[in-house]
């Protein structure tokens, strides 16, 4: 078998090894149905048990109460860019507030503007999205249908450490690249969603946690698949669910609960891992330059530059030879992006940190 690298891909991204081992063990035949997870009905008792366990695990990890529905949808996070305004705007509240801290917030805003005229409270574009708004930089409109933000900007590497204050306006969050990285005060959110392929599982499923009272806003004339209420009524089985992806989400959430010991522990580990990289950047006397301001730095995606394009290329190539892969930054920011999601082991980050120190010494 090919040796596994430390994979710093931004997504789809690294999965926990015990999860991959379990998938491999049971891929030909699950105990019970004696067929692969990919070969059994989404309405079978076995799959319903898997779906129920994924839901229960998420509720346990995040302390999600009965006031919320947990949905498993397709279409990726990008479909949420449209479904959110389609479902949550109304004739009485035709506009929502958006805070844009990076590329994904921009994409979400563009789609929302097709459904109405959104109000941009704050946009970090002037400094190529290297920071977050400070307290008092914006004021939420009291009649906004919701306040939208992206908790972690995957490309620019800026992350909110806590929720913006939206007052009585429902808070809506794209948590695609940091869902489950720390415990969350779920009752602060009206809706929070994440595609699976960064921190939760393989591509193909998007998790949406929505407060039940917001379902009253969903217009019954929306196309069925685009209406949250249809998915609630169908228990996420309106159509054939992405069974394999949900199965892996169940295993990843089992791993978080049983192997890691919950999200407090996961958060501690994530803080320790990110500190290793940011300390290396800060200790490099400017050889490595972080994109985000210190207080906005992401614990999931460390984005930094080297002094030249030649050195950047050499860094990526030599890292790859050391089994440290997928470190190239996004074309809009350049440089290096090290994605260190939940499943990236501490040893992987230590190996990258050691390589950074050596590379600098070899290229004074
Ligand atoms: N939001 C964020 C923060 C993301 O990182 C991504 C994917 N990179 C998306 C949205 C879009 O996700 P998808 O490709 O599943 O539509």
Name the residue at shortest CA distance from atom 11 of ligand 1: 77
Q: Where are the domains of the chain?
A: 18-260, 262-357
> How are beta strands 206-211 and 119-123 bridged, if at all?
unpaired
Please state the rounded mean pLDDT for residues 31-50. 97
Q: Provide the percentage of residues in the chain whose pLDDT is more than 70.
A: 100
Ligand 1, pocket-test mutation among 72, 74, 76, 179, most atoms within 8 A of CB: 76
pLDDT, tens digit (0-9, with 9 covering 90-100), for 301-353:
999 999 999 999 999 999 999 999 999 999 999 999 999 999 999 999 999 99
Please state the rounded mean pLDDT for residues 236-246. 98
Quick one: 67 exposed, middle or buried, by C-beta within 10 A (0-12, 13-18, 19+)? exposed
The Å distance, Cα 328 to ligand 1 centre, comes to 18
Query: What's the topology of domain 18-260?
Result: 3.40.640
The CATH class, in words, for 262-357 is: alpha beta
Tokens matching residue 332: 């809009």
**Is the Cβ atom of 253 under 6 angstroms away from ligand 1?**
no
Confidence band of 135 (pLDDT split at 50, 70, 90): confident
* DSSP, res 139: -
pLDDT of residue 1: 84
Ligand 1 atom with the smallest distance to the CA of 81 is 10
Name the residue at shortest CA distance from atom 12 of ligand 1: 77
Instruction: List strands edge to edge, sheet with 301-305.
Output: 289-290, 301-305, 336-339
The Å distance, Cα 30 to ligand 1 centre, comes to 31
Distance of CA 60 to the CA centre of its chain: 19
Tell me the catalytic residues.
104, 174, 198
The Å distance, Cα 361 to ligand 1 centre, comes to 36
**Is the Cβ atom of 78 under 6 angstroms away from ligand 1?**
yes
Ligand 1 atom with the smallest distance to the CA of 78 is 16
User: pTM for this one?
Assistant: 0.98
Task: Write the CA distances from 272 to 147, 212, 279, integer angstroms.
Answer: 31, 36, 10
Name the residue at shortest CA distance from atom 9 of ligand 1: 77
- In angstroms, rounded to a whole number, what is the distance separating the alpha carbons of residues 339 and 165? 28
Ligand 1, pocket-test mutation among 102, 177, 178, most atoms within 8 A of CB: 177
For residues 269 and 300, is the Cβ–Cβ distance under 8 A?
A: no
The Å distance, Cα 195 to ligand 1 centre, comes to 7
Name the residue at shortest CA distance from atom 10 of ligand 1: 77
Please state the rounded mean pLDDT for residues 193-208. 98
Quick one: 156 exposed, middle or buried, by C-beta within 10 A (0-12, 13-18, 19+)? buried
Name the residue at shortest CA distance from atom 5 of ligand 1: 154
**Is the Cβ atom of 298 under 6 angstroms away from ligand 1?**
no
């Amino acid at each position: 078998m090919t040796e596994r690298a430390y994979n710093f891909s931004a997504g789809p991204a690294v999965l926990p090894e015990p999860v991959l081992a379990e998938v491999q063990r049971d891929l030909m035949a699950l105990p019970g149905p004696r067929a692969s997870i990919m070969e059994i009905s989404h309405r079978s008792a076995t799959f319903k048990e898997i779906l129920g366990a994924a839901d229960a695990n998420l509720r346990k990890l995040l302390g999600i109460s009965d006031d919320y529905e947990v949905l498993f949808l397709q279409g990726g996070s990008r479909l949420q860019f449209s479904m959110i305004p389609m479902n949550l705007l109304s004739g009485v509240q035709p506009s929502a507030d958006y805070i844009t801290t990076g590329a994904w917030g921009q994409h979400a805003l563009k789609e929302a503007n097709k459904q109405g005229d959104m109000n941009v409270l704050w946009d970090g574009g002037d400094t190529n999205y290297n920071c977050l708004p400070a307290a008092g930089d914006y004021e939420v409109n009291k009649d906004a249908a919701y306040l939208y933000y992206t908790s972690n900007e995957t490309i620019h590497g800026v992350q909110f450490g806590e929720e913006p204050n939206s007052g009585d306006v429902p808070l809506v969050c794209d948590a695609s690249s940091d869902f489950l990285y720390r415990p969350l005060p779920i009752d602060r959110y009206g809706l929070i969603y994440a595609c699976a392929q960064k921190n939760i599982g393989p591509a193909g499923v998007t998790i949406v946690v929505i407060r039940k009272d917001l379902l009253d806003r969903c217009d019954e004339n929306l196309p069925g698949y685009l209406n949250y209420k249809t998915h609630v009524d169908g228990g996420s089985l309106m159509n054939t669910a992405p069974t394999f992806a949900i199965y892996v989400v169940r295993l990843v959430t089992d791993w978080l609960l049983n192997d890691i010991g919950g999200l407090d522990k996961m958060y501690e580990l994530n803080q320790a891992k990110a500190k290793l990289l940011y300390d290396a950047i800060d200790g490099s006397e400017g050889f490595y330059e972080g994109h985000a301001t210190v207080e906005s730095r992401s614990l999931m995606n460390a984005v930094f530059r080297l002094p030249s394009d030649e050195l950047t290329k050499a860094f990526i190539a030599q890292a790859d030879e050391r089994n440290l892969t997928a470190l190239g930054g996004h074309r809009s920011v350049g440089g290096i992006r090290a994605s260190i999601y939940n499943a990236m082991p501490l040893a992987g980050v230590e190996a990258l940190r050691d390589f950074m120190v050596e590379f600098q010494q070899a290229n004074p």
